[in-house]
Structure formats: structure tokens, C-alpha cells
Amino acid sequence: MFCGAPPAAASNLMGMRINDAGFEECYFKRQPITDADVDKAIAGMSASGCGAI
């Protein structure tokens, strides 16, 4: 199960990938640098429907 919401909320920071078990998962493409990045990262994590970040 995946929702895809975190990358939609923070596309410059988060993405989707297939893990070693063959499941899609969210991940951070890069760490937040600015305060705006931190706000987007929090929005992305808050948007998660699965709580699996």
C-alpha cells in the first residue's frame, strides 16, 4: 500500500522508489536546507496516508 502524497507535497525533497522487496516507498531525495524546505518536509510527512516514512 502506498499513497504517493508525500512526494506530491514536497516533490523537490521526496520521491518514490521500489525497495528490495519490490514495494513502492517514499524516500527523501535530499535533506532540507532552508526553512522553506523544512516546512515542505513536514508537510510531506504529514500528508502520508501510511505513516511509513
Q: Please tell me the pTM assigned to this model.
A: 0.73
The label of the residue with cell 516546512 reads 39
% of the chain at pLDDT higher than 70: 91
Top pLDDT among 6 and 31 is at: 31
Domain ranges of the chain: 5-47
Mean pLDDT, all residues of the chain: 86
- The pLDDT value recorded for residue 53 is 66
% of the chain at pLDDT higher than 90: 34
Top pLDDT among 31 and 46 is at: 31
**Position 18 pLDDT exceeds 70:** yes
Question: Is the CB of residue 6 less than 8 Å from the CB of residue 45?
Answer: yes
